[in-house]
Amino acid sequence: METPEQPAQHMRVSDADRERVAEILRQAAGDGRLDPDELDERLGAAYGARTVGDLAPLTVDLPSAQPYAPAVPVRRGNVVVPGSEPTRERGIAVLSGFERRGDWLVPQELKVVAVMGGAHIDMSQARFSASEVVVTVNAVMGGADIVVGPTTRVVIEGIGIMGGFSGPHDDSQVTPDSPTLRIRGVAFWGGVSVRRD
């Protein structure tokens, strides 16, 4: 089982992760620990790395470098990143679709309009910009499917008119410091569902 201290070797790395390793390598070359050819070879590997498993071996033999760990630890639930941008965002689906998924930053306020269209918002791997985020969904003959992680607290305050809002019933993994997702809006001949991943 993976832990935050032992990141998954297959986890994707960011440009910032590559730069951190490149800086460690440049420092090691400046200290005489790597010759110019070794530095070039390792820098090429660092900038071409896609996963933690690609980066970790590049600094393992350098005494001042701690074993490589990604800038963002592997997580089992949503992480709150206070003060991060953006604070507001909109998604519109008119006779079409709107989708957000993967590792993305959920703004403090997200407004979604779905008119004869649909929205799929997967927050199961997302980072939250505040400890409480508000998603307002207005659906007219359309709908929204929202996916959250197991530790996210969900509060539904939406109004259904010949439509409805539904949410998860299992809060067993929600803790006092879990982020809160507050769902608001109106579903007119449409539906908004929130479920856990």
Q: Considering its fold, how many domains does the chain have in total?
A: 2
Tens digit of pLDDT for each residue in 11-64? Answer: 888 887 888 888 888 888 888 889 989 999 999 999 999 888 888 888 888 865
Residues whose CB falls within 8 Å of the CB of residue 130, separated by 6 or more in sequence, listed in order: 80, 82, 108, 179
Please report the pLDDT score of residue 85 as a whole number: 58
Q: Are residues 109 and 64 in the same domain?
A: no
What's the gap between Cα 45 and its chain centre? 26
Token duo for residue 28: 């090691």
Please report the pLDDT score of residue 69 as a whole number: 52
Q: Are residues 120 and 185 in the same domain?
A: yes
* Rounded mean pLDDT, 99-128: 93
Q: Are residues 15 and 92 in the same domain?
A: no
Q: Are residues 107 and 171 in the same domain?
A: yes
Listed in order, strand segments (DSSP E) in the chain are 79-80, 88-94, 97-100, 105-106, 109-115, 118-122, 127-128, 132-140, 143-148, 153-156, 159-161, 164-166, 180-188, 191-196
DSSP character string of 17-54: HHHHHHHHHHHHHHTTSS-HHHHHHHHHHHHH--BHHH
Token duo for residue 83: 């003060």
Where a domain ends, among 27, 47, 74? 74
Residue 42 sits in which domain range?
1-74
- pLDDT above 80 (res 73): no
Mean pLDDT of the chain: 84
Q: Are residues 164 and 121 in the same domain?
A: yes
* Rounded mean pLDDT, 87-107: 89
* Rounded mean pLDDT, 172-189: 93
Q: Are residues 87 and 68 in the same domain?
A: no
Tell me which of 128 and 4 has the higher pLDDT.
128
Dihedral angle of Cα 130, 92, 112, 166, to the nearest 10 degrees: -130
